[in-house]
Structure 1
């Protein structure tokens, strides 16, 4: 290659490199300006720190949010910045997905398999997300997480890019001293990182789990037990993870069958699943009514829950009744599909008013340990009681009636055949209007 040809090739390379660096500089400065400009008007700028809102929002994006007034109308489906109900010192940026019957709101990360456990009160809302600036907050995120390798690499590349962007497009003519260029490039890079942090101090974008003491990388995490249950499309799933003073039990199945807590019970007890953080319900003479409206009685069904007790009195675990609110009805009520615990601690299914064709476990389970209970019944009344993932007893059970009613947990109201409320802890209730197979019951137990 001739000297002139080599010089021409070098000139084109120089031109492309300088133009690319100038484009990067312009893009970076534009994104930083967009992220920082709203702060002048009092808006907030929040650096995203997790993947709980993917794919719409990613780590390193900057969310620009407009502060909300006290009379702000919350829009279901929009993204908000709010105080974490379980850790007030932390901010969350999640989507409002439901307005609850009690006036509070249910929130969720788009990438999460379940909604946030604790309801959001309007008083906790700080701002409504309006704009999203991609990537510009990554250096801030790396600095906060002390991820030095990408941070230093970005700084080095940015300084080099700003230096090259300041060069002439041709190789002729004077240029600024190298030291001055380094100082200018460094100042711009540091200024860009500082601008990204404006208004974001103490604000993080974190994923939620059922345990506020843990933070998970949602991109690679799903709550194992919840995931296993949702695979089988439950009629309703109530984790019973609400905090004390809460009146309603959130339905995690996506079917919006909000439950209601009634009677004497305490929320926030230690949960029953070791690898699925959450809390449980401590029951004395209370109940959970699963769903606000009566539903058609299913011919084939499954009842699943976790329980723990040392009680030595007969008690009611779960069943289907036409009565919703009464704790006891002396005149009787339509009630069947009931699973009870005997005074001996054995489990019985099939015993309800005017019916006594039952199956009963040989083993007692009032030993103070957590147990996983699944009762299944087909349309021809072939029933099985599973305990801890294994079939404990099977057989034909009593005839059931066809009436509209409610699934109840913890206490029934079945007239002269009244069974006392279950005394002990209850957790993770799921109802299916279908019959779970033995393999799926075992899969749920394995996911605990």
Structure 2
């Protein structure tokens, strides 16, 4: 008996097998991405926004689809997150940028992650449309090309997609369908009721139709372009990137070490509380005299700082057990030639001091000569002090780490400057404080200067992580 041409051709060649498998993979990925991008706008009030330019690189590229949840009047804007908003500088244009600062007038400063400088025009809160929550990669490229008038790319993508969908319908074994007894020759056994020659056409039509419908749904949610556009103040690309893609680099570096609390101190003037950005809900309280809204200390992580002149910031609403091992991290700037209290731990929230009823230790002070001291508190004087003065009017990054055995290291600007064994500490419940405390035989004066980005850890930060925080500034 003579074999049919199909059977004599033998197994499917490797080249054809690879093409079919790649086509099926592409089909599955494309359909999945379109569904992910199209479903939220269909079933909720979320919007889908195709990014049209590159100022949010490397986390967000042209053609990515940003899925964003609408914000209402009661929405609390999170500094450091990506938002969709009306461009305050250009009418009828929508931007996808990060909010990097809350200004003391209530407006916000925004920036693209790839922009060295922030956007030139402040953002009024009323211009915020939505908060970006999900990112679907590259599925919006055809719409991006369409908006940009790049018709050759649109045509090429359409042809290649159609070819891939057709190739994905081929069988892997290279054999024609076999007949089952009792079935007409013209019917395929796995498509009963569908003519064999029409089945591929029908399947292709359904698949391509699903993609087209999804693309229309995604595109239909974009009443205007959603840009991540370089501003007129942009210089060169810099290190705005973050591991999560939705955080400033310094914040991301700190959060990676699981702090007890992180207070950016970006609050506006008149605010009585400082938000805890660690997710641990340890809201700080500001006690005058303090001046929020001062210029911040980190060049690539815009935000504001707090000026101190006898006022204090109490971190957390309830007393906690004093940790045996801990790290204190903050940024400071001063030109003061008076001794001042930078940060420490004690058993009350008030400014009053009693030699016999106040527990106060784990404190950092700046001496009148500008040097940093750690280890001086009531009944103890086993201290370590930096050899250099830091009251030079420049911002400095300060980290003090201490183990349960009281082995202490002071880091300034990412490098260890002094280390040694420091005074014994007591076990009690209390509060972390910044700017003013109750140590020394008499009440130590409050710090006079600016403080920014305070972090507390109930663990010892390794030297490599301290350097990483400094590098992320």
Pair 1:248 & 2:263 matched: no
Out of 230, 234, 244, the position equivalent to 2:259 is 234
Pair 1:403 & 2:428 matched: yes
Structure 1 position 408, deviation (Å): 0.7
Out of 433, 456, 460, the position equivalent to 1:431 is 456
Check conservation: 1:137, 1:197, Cα contact below 8 A.
no
Aligned in 2, Cα 1:133/1:299: closer, same or farther, shift over 3 Å? closer
Structure 1 position 63, deviation (Å): 4.7
Distance in 2 between residues matched to 1:141 and 1:219, nearest whole Å: 26
Q: Deviations over 1:261-310 (max 9, x none)?
A: 22232333333233444332222332222212111011222212121110
Pair 1:201 & 2:224 matched: yes
Give TM-score, length-normalised by structure 1.
0.62
Give the aligned CA root-mean-square deviation in angstroms. 5.6
Pair 1:139 & 2:142 matched: yes
Aligned in 2, Cα 1:336/1:125: closer, same or farther, shift over 3 Å? same
Mean Cα deviation higher: 218-227 or 397-406: 218-227
Aligned in 2, Cα 1:203/1:334: closer, same or farther, shift over 3 Å? same
Out of 284, 287, 290, the position equivalent to 1:265 is 290
Distance in 2 between residues matched to 1:349 and 1:437, nearest whole Å: 18
Distance in 2 between residues matched to 1:130 and 1:232, nearest whole Å: 23
Out of 35, 44, 48, the position equivalent to 1:46 is 48
Aligned in 2, Cα 1:280/1:124: closer, same or farther, shift over 3 Å? same
* 1:23-422 alignment runs, 5 A limit: 45-49=47-51, 60-61=64-65, 63=67, 137-142=140-145, 146=148, 148=150, 152-158=152-158, 196-201=219-224, 223-324=248-349, 326-329=350-353, 333-414=358-439, 417-422=442-447
Distance in 2 between residues matched to 1:131 and 1:231, nearest whole Å: 21
Aligned in 2, Cα 1:161/1:321: closer, same or farther, shift over 3 Å? closer
Distance in 2 between residues matched to 1:351 and 1:327, nearest whole Å: 18
Distance in 2 between residues matched to 1:131 and 1:416, nearest whole Å: 55
Distance in 2 between residues matched to 1:260 and 1:238, nearest whole Å: 11
Q: Deviations over 1:53-81 (max 9, x none)?
A: xx9xx96447597x7887x999xxxx998
Distance in 2 between residues matched to 1:293 and 1:85, nearest whole Å: 42
Distance in 1 between residues matched to 2:242 and 2:363, nearest whole Å: 38
Aligned in 2, Cα 1:157/1:440: closer, same or farther, shift over 3 Å? closer
SS of structure 2 residue aligned to 1:402: coil
5+ long unaligned stretches in structure 1: 95-120, 172-188, 207-212
* Count of residue pairs the alignment pairs up: 372
Structure 1 position 394, deviation (Å): 2.7
SS of structure 2 residue aligned to 1:158: helix
Check conservation: 1:384, 1:391, Cα contact below 8 A.
yes
Structure 1 position 430, deviation (Å): 1.8
Give TM-score, length-normalised by structure 2.
0.59
Check conservation: 1:241, 1:280, Cα contact below 8 A.
yes
Structure 1 position 442, deviation (Å): 3.5
Check conservation: 1:46, 1:200, Cα contact below 8 A.
no
Distance in 2 between residues matched to 1:128 and 1:388, nearest whole Å: 34
Distance in 2 between residues matched to 1:73 and 1:426, nearest whole Å: 28
